[in-house]
C-alpha cells in the first residue's frame, strides 16, 4: 500500500526556495491558527479477529499495517457518522 511520489525530488532539491512556484499555496493567516483544533486521539489496545488473508494483505504493505487498518476504520466511521 505504498504511494509513489510524482515529485521530482532531485530537481527540487537543487532549487533555491525563491525558484519554487508556490502561487497555488494559500498563505496561512492568524485566523487559521485561531480556528485550528489539535486532535490526538488516544490509542487503545484491542484483540480483534480478522480473516487471515485480510491481515496478510495489510501486512504485505510493510510496517505500519496497524495504522493503515486504523485509518481505514476511521474513514469508514467518518463517512457513516450520520447513520447512527
**DSSP notation for 34-73:** HH-----PPP--------HHHHHHHHTT-TTHHHHHHHHH
DSSP 8-state secondary structure symbol assigned to residue 5: P
Domain ranges of the chain: 9-83
pLDDT single digits (tens) 32-81: 888 888 888 899 999 999 999 999 999 999 999 999 999 999 999 999 98
CB–CB of 62/2 below 8 Å? yes
* Verdict on whether the full-model pTM lies above 0.85: no
Helix%, strand%, coil% for the chain, nearest 5:
50, 0, 50
How far apart are alpha carbons 18 and 4 in whole angstroms? 26
Amino acid at each position: 500500500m505504498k504511494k509513489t511520489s510524482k515529485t521530482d525530488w532531485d530537481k527540487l532539491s537543487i532549487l533555491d526556495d525563491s525558484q519554487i512556484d508556490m502561487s497555488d499555496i494559500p498563505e496561512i493567516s492568524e485566523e487559521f491558527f485561531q480556528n485550528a483544533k489539535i486532535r490526538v486521539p488516544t490509542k487503545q489496545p484491542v484483540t480483534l479477529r480478522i480473516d487471515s488473508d485480510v491481515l496478510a494483505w495489510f501486512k504485505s504493505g510493510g510496517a505500519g499495517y496497524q495504522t493503515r487498518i486504523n485509518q481505514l476504520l476511521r474513514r469508514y466511521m467518518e463517512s457513516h457518522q450520520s447513520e447512527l
